[in-house]
Structure 1
């Protein structure tokens, strides 16, 4: 049955979508060192004459009507249309993606806008909910975004520990700290999150953005937490794009890491990718069991650890018992139902650390044991691209 949500003024979500009655507003994102804007974030709004003007009601109505994917795509289209036709297009335009519909193809209109060449760099924002929910779709979309020279941001970092574990896998250009971290700068959780994020930014060149900056005190806190850029009412409330009259930073082109086409879709099997980082060791029962124990101990010491694994049948000797225990203790497990033939691979990712093993039996194989963040992340990307 198809559901239709009607607002107090009689407007339905179907009517709003069919009429393309979405009117985005934009909020500045600012360089905390200079005060100059680096770009604008697009925020969806429905028609002003309707209670569906508010984004929470708008998206809830679309979800109830089974049209969430259409609405999400329309919001992205309208954001780019407004930014393209602005008298002063910003250097960066941030557009949000709804995690529940990341597996849908891009609309013809959105593809047309992107392929025509945007006068700015688009930054597609994923909320951290998308990482464990649809990791394969997220990586494939990220690859498409980078193919056109655009960028990825991970939003709301700090709400769920899973986002810290999987952060190196996505390796976004921009990491956005959730506003509750700015509100609670002395909390143990805040210090832990910000330490991991700062280390990741130092490793990858990502830019850290603090959200929810409303006062001069918030601004000082954001800088102390390691943020490079920020957004919030202190810099400006959401408004139509023509209402922004501030200056844009002239140095933004060099501040954001260039796009890396192909990065999110590595070529090769996990074992072959691991072999780029180290030489394979013997893959006998004892050494395999010892390697799995490394993963198991990491999971036992961290109740927020994520395990990603793919195992062919039959499972190589030395793994069965340890693997069951490993999976049983992990907070989150992603098991691939399409494993790489002839290879067993398992990885444990936590806040600020990662371990992986990959086994290929036979004379051309062996055992790979890795703890380098970049190596483990690449292996996990190779696994997750085989996942929905």
Structure 2
């Protein structure tokens, strides 16, 4: 930080609620660094806002992983009937805000008509020339009556935590056969490939196969319909899978003993996680299947923190 701004910054953090704008680029480029950086920002008392939610609609599934306090949408998105993604973006923003307790901010409000549109898409915060034009800062300011609230954050996972551990911390795993795992995984994998809202898909590979036992050709097909896809394995396949981040796991990583498939979309979230049981018989696995969004998000973060640029 420049030395001449140190005093201003010190005053700002004690008198104002500061926010940092993030977008899908920050998490997709280097998920591990992005999550760590956001943790530091939040520890300093800052808020997080998701910028330009309508710019890349296919990235909306990444928004819950960032868990912003504010979602920004340009009001021009809902002006007229010409924008093909307007309903998709607004519905995703409203769904996220309702689930997380976040606020929606409409930006670009320049008229009373824009204000009506902003309220119609669920915005409780607004920004634009309708309220004031840019100008010199006032010498004194009034105390903010209703500051923007920061939402509760999910408990961060430990550096070696795994999706199965996250599941087992809230639910009781069930004994299951390999056939049961493959059946559940097959359903989720097929859903990913046809979902109209491109999801985030994270999978652990065993022997160059998906948890269903399907070949990597299916993963390539799934990746064409995702906002972000990553696969983890102790031994990576000899050739990359187009559209998929391939992550090599260390031999001592507990994730190497798990079958995992995590799917996160604007309106859907699922986690399938399993690991071997130390017992004889047909039920050779301990299995967890959850549609509880906080559980799925925490499990997904255990995977994302293993992805570096």
TM-score scaled by length of structure 2: 0.78
Over residues 143-200 of structure 1, what are the superposed CA-to-partner deviations in whole Å (9 max), with x where a residue is unaligned?
A: 1111122211111112223332122211111111134424356755212221221121
Residue matched to 1:375: 295
Over residues 342-372 of structure 1, what are the superposed CA-to-partner deviations in whole Å (9 max), with x where a residue is unaligned?
A: 1122212223112221121123851212222
Residue matched to 2:17: 121
Residue 263 of structure 2 is aligned to residue 348 of structure 1: yes
**For residues 207 and 163 of structure 1, what CA distance do their matches in structure 2 show?**
19
The gaps in structure 2 that reach 5 residues or longer are 233-246, 250-254, 280-284
- Give how far 1:308 is off: 1.5
Residue 48 of structure 2 is aligned to residue 133 of structure 1: no
CA 299–233 in structure 1, closer or farther in 2 if over 3 Å, else same? same
**For residues 317 and 247 of structure 1, what CA distance do their matches in structure 2 show?**
58
CA 342–188 in structure 1, closer or farther in 2 if over 3 Å, else same? same
Counterpart secondary structure, 2:110: coil
Counterpart secondary structure, 1:250: coil
- Give how far 1:338 is off: 4.3
Residue 144 of structure 2 is aligned to residue 249 of structure 1: yes
Counterpart secondary structure, 2:184: helix
* Cα pair 2:110 2:130 within 8 Å, conserved: yes
**For residues 210 and 263 of structure 2, what CA distance do their matches in structure 1 show?**
20
- Give how far 1:279 is off: 2.5
Over residues 290-330 of structure 1, what are the superposed CA-to-partner deviations in whole Å (9 max), with x where a residue is unaligned?
A: 1111221211222523212233x546896331664144322
Residue 275 of structure 2 is aligned to residue 360 of structure 1: yes
**For residues 375 and 322 of structure 1, what CA distance do their matches in structure 2 show?**
28
Residue matched to 2:50: 154
Residue matched to 1:308: 202
**For residues 193 and 210 of structure 1, what CA distance do their matches in structure 2 show?**
13
- Give how far 1:83 is off: 5.6
Residue matched to 1:291: 184
Counterpart secondary structure, 1:219: helix
CA 238–245 in structure 1, closer or farther in 2 if over 3 Å, else same? farther
Residue matched to 2:214: 321
- Give how far 1:118 is off: 3.5
Where do 1:23-38 residues align within 5 Å? none
**For residues 279 and 353 of structure 1, what CA distance do their matches in structure 2 show?**
22
CA 318–228 in structure 1, closer or farther in 2 if over 3 Å, else same? closer
* Cα pair 1:178 1:210 within 8 Å, conserved: yes
The gaps in structure 1 that reach 5 residues or longer are 1-72, 90-116
- Give how far 1:250 is off: 1.0
CA 321–146 in structure 1, closer or farther in 2 if over 3 Å, else same? same
**For residues 195 and 80 of structure 1, what CA distance do their matches in structure 2 show?**
41
Over residues 264-310 of structure 1, what are the superposed CA-to-partner deviations in whole Å (9 max), with x where a residue is unaligned?
A: 44563210101234322334221121111122121122252321223
Moved more, 197-206 or 281-290: 281-290
Higher relative contact order (CA 8 A, sep 6+): 2
**For residues 177 and 171 of structure 2, what CA distance do their matches in structure 1 show?**
18
Moved more, 293-302 or 137-146: 293-302
**For residues 317 and 211 of structure 1, what CA distance do their matches in structure 2 show?**
42
**For residues 74 and 6 of structure 2, what CA distance do their matches in structure 1 show?**
25
TM-score scaled by length of structure 1: 0.63
